[in-house]
Structure 1
Amino acid sequence: MKVIPLKLRQGLVSAVLLLLLLPSSFIAIEQAFQQQLITNAEQKMEVHMYAILSELHLTDGKIELNNNTLAPDFYRPDSGLSAFVSDGQQLLWQSDSSLNQAFVVPDIQLTPGQHIFYEMTQADSDYQILSIAFLFDSGDSAYPLAIHIVQDQALLLAPHQSFRSTLLRWFSGIAVGLLLLSILAYYWTTKPLTRLDYEIRQLERGKQEQLNGKYPSELKVIKEDLNLLLASQNRQKLRYRNHLSDLAHALKTPVAVLRTSPLAQQPELKEQIDRITAMIEHQLKKASSSGQDIWKKQTALLPLAEKLINALRKIYRDKDCVIELSCAEEAFFRGDETDMMEMLGNLLDNACKACHKKVRVRVEQHPLKLIIEDDGPGIPPTQRQELFQRGIRLDTYADGHGVGLSIVAELINSYSGTITIGDSELGGAQFTLTFLDEV
């Protein structure tokens, strides 16, 4: 599972909040405004209805209204506002504004005193209607009548669209402003983390010894703890090196005395002294190895490999072996240069000893792989694991004590890496060293 960096997570959270909050707020405000428009329209239509009801009278058996008190929209054709009076069966009166309007009074059954507000579509036009039923008292009798106030819904579209355009402009400006503020806040809040990340990378590259930047209180404790850890590690490494130097100096004289002794010329004792010398060298290299240091330097592999190959070409110039190298310029090893030289040098030296004419070295990154091949006799599968045991040798070379590959294996293990032996396309053996990207 891939871990999302903290900075990216913060940016994603801000973006998601911005994308969710602004559209939802825009829709909520727009819907609220539209509902308010409808409510206001219903209230205005109710006022018109009571105005008509107050001016309604019967003359010579016909319904008439005193139009002087009605709203001007009822006189103006195509105003979008009209009124109708019916007795439930036929139309008794209609406003002047409805003369050019293709609207048919709906046939609805209402009880006296009941009024309803509803929407209706006729002839591809949408209308809002307020209807009320009542009993009209003419003195001698009461007539059941109904008043219908009709408003074209297009009257609501203009203010709604105007409000929506204004709201969209405001929200666009708010979105841009919030985006800029989010970007500024993002960089301002993550700046200490960016600086801390940079200093840690400088530590890994060995370009500084401790964290020196000024950090907020939340990161100050981490900075101090890391500096204490680094100082403790450096003191410990210095003690190890001093003790190893003392040990090497203390063993140097006794081993030299043993070598000059006449007894040391005996084959059995000479072999044992050589083994002791080799084991001392191995243990000194192993103890001084950086191994699982907390902060590792980044060692460029191309110049290191070229240096080793040039040296081996001089050593094996009589053999005239061809050593091919395939390594990207940016390839690096996250560890100590001495350790990599020990591992790669041992394997290249063995390959040059075993090859007939050709050795090939390939370096791959992510994860880091070093592949060393030769065109020699190869190594039988049943004997491959024995190579990593101390003192075991499968060749017949005069030099060496069988500890080279065991040193390589132990160094690789200290970096949490792996080494495998296989068959090369060149015909000989293939050694593959694999290291994790982060060790």
Structure 2
Amino acid sequence: MPLSLKLRQLLISILLMLLLLPSSFLAIDQAFFTQLLTNAEQKLEVNMYAILSEINISNGKIEVSNSTLAPDFYRPDSGLSAYITDNDKLVWQSDSSLNQHFTPPNFTLPPGEHLFTEVTQHDEDFWVLSIALLFDAQDNTHPLTVHIVQSDKRLSAPHISFRNTLARWFIGIAIVLLLLMLLAYYWTTKPLSRLDNEIRRVENGSQEQLNGRYPAELAVIKEDLNLLLANQNRQKQRYRHHLSDLAHALKTPVAVLQTSELSQQPELKEQLDRITGMIEHQLKRASSSGQDVWKKQILIKPLLRKLVSALEKIYKDKDLIINIECTDSDVFKGDETDLMEVLGNLLDNASKACKSLVSVTINMHPLKIIIEDDGPGIPADKHHQLFQRGSRLDTYSEGHGVGLAIVAELVESYSGNLALDNSPYGGARFTISFPD
């Protein structure tokens, strides 16, 4: 089933939120890590300059005074350590490096240059800031390289803490945004739902027009629909009034002619009866509601009960049995008069033709009405003639033909289909199918 426009808009909003929030989370997390790394490099530079200021050579041995060094260089497992190499030979290391499994990297750097990079040793990550220099001691010059090493754990700990805090905030923001979107969805679609419910009530006949109060955008649609409904009702009433006037205008002269002595002549009487029948037929056909834009939902079972009660009285000499298979919720979307005309004609014909049994079966989705009897049936070579326009249907076998033209045209006006075949009971079976 295709999604409604309202639901598609909500899903698009949720999809955008699911795309934007993770993207924003990753961008902020990466920006924080970049800033964290920059701060770490700057702190390592400060420590490096502190070490450079304390380097001296005594008796050919490199020594570093501890007067300005950070306490982390003397605390084991602090995650911060320092190394000095001379031609790739380790000549000094801080006390904090004694328990650290780290070997100073062999960088070839020109004097005065420094390098900040990540190094992995023994499945552990380190950030290393190295600087090369030429250290003058008496008459000798020593090419020294100073390495300030920081464990990645000193960066990952605040990074993980920040990420967890950020994740909690983003989850909270996502929940709040989702609630706001659902609230906005409900608030903005509530008028549409009310309009849809009102239209359904108009369709099933429980109200004549739209009466609710709606926003300006929907108010225009409401007024247009009400104008359409009012115009349709006026045209229908005007049409039926004209037909009623026409019926009276035609029936009165015909009634006068029928009272004349000349009307008793067989030829004239037959023609007057034909004229009367044609007038009734065409008026019933023209006054049919047909497939209106707004269709009322008529319960079928109460109408069937009324017809069955009347037919049982009319054909009481037959010991008529009419079986009905219809639920209380089965409905016909159309005019009650039209449904009464269709069911009445077919049931009357079946009651005339049957021996004693008539069956009515109603199926829904789509609506299908099956009426059959246990009478003699209709010859197969007559089936194709039954519904032909202009045929004298009452000249066929008893009980089948009278009113069938009206039934066929009413069914056609609802875009339905009327079919005739043989019933398992032995008689005729009429099947009417209507589209959903």
Query: What TM-score, normalized by structure 2, do the two folds share?
Result: 0.89
Is the alpha carbon distance of 1:111 and 1:320 closer, same or farther for their aligned partners in structure 2, counting shifts above 3 Å? Answer: farther
Paired residue for 1:232? 231
Do the aligned partners of 1:88 and 1:107 also contact (CA within 8 Å) in 2? no
Is the alpha carbon distance of 1:173 and 1:273 closer, same or farther for their aligned partners in structure 2, counting shifts above 3 Å? Answer: same
Is the alpha carbon distance of 1:68 and 1:253 closer, same or farther for their aligned partners in structure 2, counting shifts above 3 Å? Answer: same
Distance 2:378 2:350 in 1: 12
Distance 1:265 1:136 in 2: 146
Per the alignment, in what secondary structure is the counterpart of residue 67 of structure 1? Answer: coil
Distance 2:145 2:392 in 1: 113
Is the alpha carbon distance of 1:221 and 1:261 closer, same or farther for their aligned partners in structure 2, counting shifts above 3 Å? Answer: same
Distance 2:126 2:189 in 1: 57
Per-residue CA deviation, residues 343-366 of structure 1 (Å, 9 max, x unaligned), is: 223333334444455443332333
Partner amino acid, structure 1, of 2:218: L
Distance 2:269 2:413 in 1: 32
Paired residue for 1:286? 285
Paired residue for 2:148? 149
Is the alpha carbon distance of 1:141 and 1:385 closer, same or farther for their aligned partners in structure 2, counting shifts above 3 Å? Answer: farther
Residue 422 of structure 1: how far off its partner (Å): 4.6
Do the aligned partners of 2:72 and 2:78 also contact (CA within 8 Å) in 1? yes
Distance 2:36 2:77 in 1: 21
Paired residue for 1:100? 99
| Structure 2 spans left out of the alignment, 5+ residues | none
Residue 41 of structure 1: how far off its partner (Å): 1.8
Distance 2:288 2:394 in 1: 27
1:132-143 equivalence runs, <5 A: 132-143=131-142
Distance 1:398 1:99 in 2: 118
Residue 337 of structure 1: how far off its partner (Å): 0.9
Residue 99 of structure 1: how far off its partner (Å): 0.8
Residue 229 of structure 1: how far off its partner (Å): 1.9
Query: What TM-score, normalized by structure 1, do the two folds share?
Result: 0.88
Paired residue for 1:299? 298
Runs of 4+ that moved beyond 6 A: none
Paired residue for 1:217? 216
Partner amino acid, structure 1, of 2:100: Q
Residue 159 of structure 1: how far off its partner (Å): 1.5
Is the alpha carbon distance of 1:227 and 1:37 closer, same or farther for their aligned partners in structure 2, counting shifts above 3 Å? Answer: same
Paired residue for 1:19? 18
Is the alpha carbon distance of 1:13 and 1:368 closer, same or farther for their aligned partners in structure 2, counting shifts above 3 Å? Answer: farther
Is the alpha carbon distance of 1:387 and 1:20 closer, same or farther for their aligned partners in structure 2, counting shifts above 3 Å? Answer: farther
Distance 1:63 1:321 in 2: 126
Partner amino acid, structure 1, of 2:348: D
Paired residue for 1:178? 177
Paired residue for 1:160? 159
Is the alpha carbon distance of 1:176 and 1:207 closer, same or farther for their aligned partners in structure 2, counting shifts above 3 Å? Answer: same
Distance 2:377 2:105 in 1: 100
Per-residue CA deviation, residues 206-227 of structure 1 (Å, 9 max, x unaligned), is: 3333222222221222222222
Is the alpha carbon distance of 1:328 and 1:42 closer, same or farther for their aligned partners in structure 2, counting shifts above 3 Å? Answer: farther
Distance 1:239 1:371 in 2: 35
Per the alignment, in what secondary structure is the counterpart of residue 69 of structure 1? Answer: coil
Is the alpha carbon distance of 1:104 and 1:327 closer, same or farther for their aligned partners in structure 2, counting shifts above 3 Å? Answer: farther
Paired residue for 1:308? 307
> Is 2:50 the counterpart of 1:55?
no
Distance 2:407 2:393 in 1: 14
Residue 261 of structure 1: how far off its partner (Å): 4.0
Do the aligned partners of 2:366 and 2:433 also contact (CA within 8 Å) in 1? yes
Is the alpha carbon distance of 1:219 and 1:64 closer, same or farther for their aligned partners in structure 2, counting shifts above 3 Å? Answer: same
Distance 1:392 1:47 in 2: 114
1:354-433 equivalence runs, <5 A: 354-376=353-375, 383-390=382-389, 391-393=391-393, 396-398=396-398, 402=401, 404-422=403-421, 424=423, 426=425, 428-433=427-432
Is the alpha carbon distance of 1:295 and 1:131 closer, same or farther for their aligned partners in structure 2, counting shifts above 3 Å? Answer: same
Do the aligned partners of 1:387 and 1:394 also contact (CA within 8 Å) in 2? no
CA RMSD of aligned residues (A): 2.8
Partner amino acid, structure 1, of 2:240: R
Per-residue CA deviation, residues 151-179 of structure 1 (Å, 9 max, x unaligned), is: 22122222222222222222222222222
Distance 1:373 1:113 in 2: 108
Is the alpha carbon distance of 1:187 and 1:88 closer, same or farther for their aligned partners in structure 2, counting shifts above 3 Å? Answer: same
Residue 102 of structure 1: how far off its partner (Å): 1.5
Worse-superposed segment, 112-121 or 407-416: 112-121
> Is 2:123 the counterpart of 1:124?
yes
Distance 2:168 2:152 in 1: 25
Is the alpha carbon distance of 1:244 and 1:156 closer, same or farther for their aligned partners in structure 2, counting shifts above 3 Å? Answer: same
| Structure 1 spans left out of the alignment, 5+ residues | none
Percent identical residues: 65
Is the alpha carbon distance of 1:107 and 1:239 closer, same or farther for their aligned partners in structure 2, counting shifts above 3 Å? Answer: same
Distance 1:334 1:215 in 2: 28
Residue 66 of structure 1: how far off its partner (Å): 1.7
Paired residue for 1:350? 349
Residue 76 of structure 1: how far off its partner (Å): 0.9
Paired residue for 2:31? 32
Partner amino acid, structure 1, of 2:48: M
